[in-house]
Amino acid sequence: MTAKKVGRAPRKRRLPRPAGRPADTGESLRFYYKGNRFKQLRAFVHIVKLGSLSRAAEALFLSQPTISLQLKALERELGATLLERRRRRVNLTDAGEALYELARPLIEGWETLEQDFQTRIKGLAAGKLVIAAGTSTIQYLLPELVRRYRERYPAVHLQLANVTGKDGLAMLRADEADFAVGSMLDVPNDIAWAPVYRFDPMLIMPPDHPLARKEQIALEDLSPYGLILPPQRLSTYRLVDLVFQRAQVSYQVAIEVGGWDVIKEYVAMGLGISIVTGICITEVDRARLAVRNLRQYFPQRSYGVVMRKGKFLRPEAQAFIDLIRPGLLVHRDYDEPGHSER
């Protein structure tokens, strides 16, 4: 019997690597991620918006190691640390904050490019606009603006989110609202604020009230009478308290209740007097209530447009803002403090 000749197994032929795909080495991966700045910036923006690498990876349908590599490549190329990891969240460094302000409008603009393109060539024939605002803003300030907007852009789905000032800021930061309309007391660093409308503080009381016989009313004149004010957690109450405390004048609160219409109704019933913002005073109110201006004691309240700095405004949003005032917030430099929504 002839012995079989034993030889080496045939070598498997290696298929050529597809063009553009890196070899599975750390060095190649480094150059692969270095070559796509858009992906790096998109990963960075989503990490900051969502607060963690894992959430960013989930939103972009990528693995967490991929997101991490993109971030590291971006930091290496720019020569700066952009994020600091603390427990389960990440915090922006000064360099990261600067880059985020520049990159976020670019990424948001790219992600909505197709929709915005269709809007531009077809006009505002579709789309959605979300505006955050408080009750008094929706009831007294926005109706005429909404009417004009609907006449011009009837196909746009308009949503008015009735929220407090705090919740409105949360919606802006989470990109759940295009912008807000209202007033501000303290303007955070990441928020742009453009006041447009100003209203005087007004004392309202029943027509037969003793103070209604006086044309000029001093702060001390209010002390004997119970005030009807919004709840303490709202800024109107805090502002009233601050003015009385600074003037060292005593005052008493008879009723705490929310809503300007409810307050006006209680005043008309003779249950107390109140200090309200002129925005809620109508001709009907002046016919059934005595109204006096208290601007000499209380500051005006400013109402305007509130938005996140660096926000990419879609055409639907820009069209509404242009109804308020053309070119408003174009330069992102409105940081004037005002008074917060009640």
18 vs 230: which has the higher pLDDT: 230
Sequence-ordered alpha helix ranges (H) in 165-276: 165-173, 235-247, 260-268
Judge contact between 306 and 163, C-beta under 8 A.
Answer: no
pLDDT confidence of residue 120: 61
CA neighbor of 318 nearest in space, from 306, 328, 303: 328
189 pLDDT tier (thresholds 50, 70, 90): confident
CA distance 229 to 237: 6
Q: Is the pLDDT of residue 30 over 60?
A: no
pLDDT tens profile 284-299: 999 999 999 999 999 9
The H or E element that residue 89 is part of is: strand 89-92
Enumerate residues 6+ apart whose C-beta is below 8 A from 121.
none
pTM of the model: 0.62
CA distance 27 to 36: 15
Q: Is the pLDDT of residue 334 over 90?
A: no
Q: Is the pLDDT of residue 19 over 60?
A: no
Which of the residue ranges 112-116, 217-221, 222-226 would you say has the lowest mean pLDDT? 112-116
Q: Is the pLDDT of residue 338 over 50?
A: no
The rounded mean pLDDT for the chain is: 83
- Measuring CA to CA, how many Å separate 58 from each of 55, 67, 84, 112? 5, 10, 20, 19
Q: Is the pLDDT of residue 187 over 70?
A: yes
Which of the residue ranges 113-127, 216-230, 319-333 would you say has the lowest mean pLDDT? 113-127
CA distance 298 to 27: 66
Sequence-ordered alpha helix ranges (H) in the chain: 26-34, 37-50, 53-60, 64-78, 94-111, 113-122, 135-136, 143-152, 165-173, 235-247, 260-268, 283-288, 315-324
